[in-house]
Amino acid sequence: MRLLKSSLTFYFLVLAVSVTLAQQQTLDSLRNVINSNAPGPEKIKAYLALSAAVNFKDFEECLLVSGSGAALAQKLGDLPSLGKFQKTIGISYYFKGNFDSAASYYYKALDVLKKDKDPVERAAVLNELGKLYRKTKDLGRSLQMYDEAYAIYKSIGSEDGMATILNESGVVFEYKGDYEEAIRRYKSSLTIREKMNDIVGKAYSLNFIGGVYTQEGNFPEAEKYLMQSLDLRRQLKDTFSIAFNLADLGFMYTQQNRLDKAVEQYQLSNDIAVKMKFPDLLLENYKELSVIAEKKGDPLLSLEYYKKHIALKDSLFAGEKMKQIEQLNAKYQAEKKEQLLAVQKAEITQKNYLLWGLTAVVALLVLSGISFYRKRRIQQEMKLQAAIMKQQEMATRSVISAEENERKRIAADLHDGVGQMMSAAKMNLSAFENEIPFKDVSQKLAFEKILELVDESCREIRSVSHQMMPNALLKSGLANAVREFIDKIDNRIIKITLHAAGLQERLDSNVETVLYRVIQECVNNVIKHSGANALDISLIKDTDGIAATIEDNGNGFDTSDKEKFEGIGLKNIISRITFLKGTVEFDSSPGKGTLVAIHVPLT
């Protein structure tokens, strides 16, 4: 019965349209508009309404009306209407059994609707193509058409369209034997129809679900869904759909071996099919009734039904074959008259195009392969470089972190250990001073010198511990830490000036620590090696980051001498600034001092 379900949705929709049109305007009035001197747009509307009204009453008239409407629409440049007429012509050919002609007009409609960018009508044509390929058992192409239609409906938010495609594509999965996916799609459609409160759509989804359960042998579920569908259709008085529903019930009862009940449903379905003159339904029903009669042990009745089935089948398919031959012949004669002189030229051109196309494709594949290989190699090199840089950064981070932790430990040991011991020694010596009877002034002066040395040692330990982990850096930031550091340097040795701007807010602790150590290293280098008597330090923070300069008036050095950069001091400066993703530049020459320019971005 799935063969008959493939057309069910469209049949009902068109019949519903026909009933609505009959209520609004008679067929004669539509023909009068067409034959009158009415403006072109009004005539096109009449053609569209009339073709929809007669589509399932008289296929020949539908083809004539749609063909005339298409000619007028093309003359007026009305592409949306032209696409609709071509789709209707395709539908008429489809139900006449001329599938090649149907496909031809469907693709013409797609081409026109593509130019006009009408997504709704384009999706409707894709749905019809899906049915056509499903009918010819080209299931892969059928699903392709359904998927494209579904994507369009989804993009425009058409729940009605999505529900329709879910039902139609579910039939394909039934043909493929994938009942689980078929049920999933039918139930998804049912959910949408229930949300829309669409009784017609609910009836179709319920019918489809019941049909799958029949094929799976789950008869209780099958009967439940089929009866729900039948009840809704009886409420709607949808005679056409009721006939299919009854046939599906008959098939279910046959599979369940409830033969009398099955015969009852098929007879009711046949009564409707005879009145509607719908031979496809009678064809399937006679076949099933023949099987039932044979199961019941009545070979004569089985033979009678089988003869009816064969007679109807022969008449249908013989007629279809003749129509297809006639259509193909007419098409051939028309094309022969118009293209006879161009056939050979077209064939040669086509072969040349094919050869050129193949050559271009091969060349393109070769170029694509080379491009892909190069791109892949560059990507791998970039990944490797990134990994190396990350490892280097991690190593630098680890070294700096370990160094800072060790500085903190040593500073704490100096301050809390050695410093406290030296302070205690000074206190004990001071207390012992009052108890020692000095023989003369020289002994007292020697003892006081010892106290001064101990006191100086305490100050030196405190100074060293503060340099290793300055309190100002921990408390109030980079600028104050640098200022505290240079204030401890004797002006008689070197005069140092500091200019700081934009550092009112604290920086990241890593940035502050690294910059402090770098400046500290630069100052120590100037004092030890440059012979300078003046040093200018500048710290400026702006939107781009932090710029630091350390400039002295010392001896300078040759920056092109690589050996100068092999020392630990300059290496530390460069590695620390690189860790902060910053830059450091050295501007110097012998006898002209040295400028160290540092820039660190702030992320």
What's the pLDDT band for 335 if we cut at 50, 70, 90? Answer: very low
Q: What is the mean pLDDT of residues 192-218?
A: 91
Q: What percent of the chain has pLDDT over 90?
A: 28
Given a cut of 70, whether residue 297 has pLDDT beyond it is: yes
Owner of token pair 């139609």: 168
Phi and psi at residue 56, to the nearest 5°: -110, 15
**What is the C-alpha to C-alpha distance for residues 279 and 269, in angstroms, rounded to an integer?**
12
Q: What percent of the chain has pLDDT over 70?
A: 77
Neighbours of 339 (CB within 10 A): 11
Q: Note the pLDDT tens digit of each residue in 381-422.
A: 888 777 776 775 666 566 566 665 666 566 555 555 565 566
Q: Which two tokens stand for residue 515?
A: 């910059």
CA 571 to chain centre: 48
Q: Where are the domains of the chain?
A: 1-115, 375-464, 475-600
**What is the C-alpha to C-alpha distance for residues 21 and 309, in angstroms, rounded to an integer?**
36
End-to-end Cα separation, the chain, in angstroms: 69
The per-residue pLDDT for 23 is: 41
Which amino acid is residue 476, in one-letter code? S
Q: Note the pLDDT tens digit of each residue in 522-578.
A: 888 888 888 888 999 999 988 888 999 999 998 888 888 767 766 667 777 888 888
The per-residue pLDDT for 576 is: 82
Owner of token pair 């540092």: 598
Q: What is the mean pLDDT of residues 247-256?
A: 93
To the question of domain 475-600 being in CATH 3.30.565.10, the answer is yes
Given a cut of 90, whether residue 112 has pLDDT beyond it is: no
The rounded mean pLDDT for the chain is: 80
Concatenated DSSP letters for 136-156?
TT-HHHHHHHHHHHHHHHHHT
Given a cut of 50, whether residue 336 has pLDDT beyond it is: no
- Which of these, 474, 482, 487, 476, lies nearest to 521 by C-alpha position? 482
**What is the C-alpha to C-alpha distance for residues 464 and 410, in angstroms, rounded to an integer?**
10
Top pLDDT among 322 and 433 is at 433
- Which of these, 63, 110, 115, 71, lies nearest to 88 by C-alpha position? 63
Least confident span in 153-162, 344-353, 518-527, 569-578: 344-353
The per-residue pLDDT for 8 is: 45
The reply to whether 475-600 shares the fold of 1-115 is no
- DSSP type of residue 541: E
The per-residue pLDDT for 364 is: 85
Which residues are paired to 540 by β-bridges? 501, 547
Neighbours of 184 (CB within 10 A): 14
When the candidates are 3.40.50.300, 1.10.357.10, 1.25.40.10, 3.40.50.2300, the CATH number that belongs to 1-115 is: 1.25.40.10
- Which of these, 92, 103, 37, 94, lies nearest to 60 by C-alpha position? 92
Which amino acid is residue 100, in one-letter code? D
Q: How do the residues of the chain divide into helix, strand and coil, expressed in percent and rounded to 5?
A: 80, 5, 15
